[in-house]
Each structure stands twice: as C-alpha cells, then as structure tokens.
C-alpha cells in the first residue's frame, strides 16, 4: 500500500508543472472570441482607451483584464483623410470626446460592455475588455460592418 502511495505522489509531482501551461477557462473563451473576430474580418489589438488619463488610470480592470480594440479596416479615403474621432460610453450614454463631433447613431446598438469607440484613417472599432462571449463579438461585428459601410460612402 505504501508503494502505491509513493508512486502516486511521484506521478503527481511530475505532472504538477504541466498544469501551469493548460489554459484557463477565461483564456480559452478569449481565444475563441478573438478567433471568431479574425475569421469574420476584424482585427484585434491592445490599445489605450481614448480620452483616458494615462497617469491616473490603467487599461486593466480590477480582474486584470486588458482593454482590447476590435477594429474593422476601412478603405483608403478618396478625397481627404479621415479625422480621428472618439466616443466614450458613460452611464449608458455615448459622449463625444470633441464637442463638435456628433455621435454616430449605430453606436447605440453596441452592447453595454463596450467602453469606447473610435474612427481613424485606417479603421473604425470599439474598446472593451472582452466580457460576454462570442455572441457579443457577433453583435460588435454587425455594428462595425454597418459603421464601416457608412464611413465608406
């Protein structure tokens, strides 16, 4: 009996370091969301939330989740360069970071988990901390498709 216990202990000690390389449930979910986004023509990158004070605030939430940008590439502007614009979702309503900048109506369709949205010369997209699953990514993709179409015309 002691021999079996010793064998089990040795096997457990040999396998313990391997458990650190197995992805967690959250890591698998994030990988699934990012893969879904990539397959559906979105790109994903780390970006700071527009208008957030870099000195006082972090781009991580209390659970250690990073702020991620899900973007849709835009075709090159034919006449003039697109102006960089950004909007933040605060207390359930969208506000422009520049006073003279109207909030695109399509942003109202985004899920509440979204923190901000922006458009620049090369893309339009949203900032969030990947909370919600593939269903939220699909909703974001649909909104970005519509918004990109509006910006391209």
Name the residue ranges covered by the structural domains of the chain.
Answer: 24-152
Amino acid 15: pLDDT: 82
Q: What is the DSSP string of 59-95?
A: SB-TT-PBPEEEEEE-PPPSSSPPPPEEEEEETTEEE
pTM for this model (two decimals): 0.79
Contact 48, 146 (CB under 8 A): no
For residue 40, report the phi and psi dihedrals to the nearest 5 degrees: -105, 35
Amino acid 56: pLDDT: 41
State the 10-residue block means of pLDDT for the chain, 153 residues long. 88 83 89 95 92 53 72 82 86 87 90 92 93 92 93 74
119 sits in which H/E element: strand 114-119
Amino acid 29: pLDDT: 94
Contact 32, 134 (CB under 8 A): yes
DSSP state at residue 27: H
Integer Cα distance of 137 and 86 in angstroms: 20
Integer Cα distance of 144 and 81 in angstroms: 19
CB 105: neighbour CB atoms within 10 A?
11
All residues at 6 or more sequence positions from 144 whose CB lies less than 8 Å from its CB, including other chains: 42, 70, 71, 72, 124, 125, 126
Amino acid 35: pLDDT: 96
Amino acid 83: pLDDT: 81
């Amino acid at each position: 009996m002691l021999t079996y216990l010793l064998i089990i202990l040795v096997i457990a000690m040999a396998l313990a370091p391997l458990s650190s390389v197995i992805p967690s449930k959250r890591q698998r979910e994030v990988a699934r969301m990012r893969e879904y986004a990539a397959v559906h023509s979105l790109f994903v990158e780390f970006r700071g939330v527009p208008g957030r004070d870099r000195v006082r605030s972090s781009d991580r939430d209390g659970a250690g989740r990073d702020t991620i940008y899900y973007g849709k590439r835009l075709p090159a502007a034919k006449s003039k360069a697109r102006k960089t614009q950004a909007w933040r979702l605060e207390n359930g309503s969208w506000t422009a970071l520049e006073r003279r900048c109207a909030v695109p109506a399509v942003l109202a369709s985004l899920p509440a988990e979204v923190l901000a949205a922006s458009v620049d010369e090369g893309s339009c997209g949203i900032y969030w901390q990947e909370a919600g699953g593939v269903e939220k990514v699909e909703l974001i993709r649909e909104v970005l498709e519509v918004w990109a179409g509006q910006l391209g015309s």
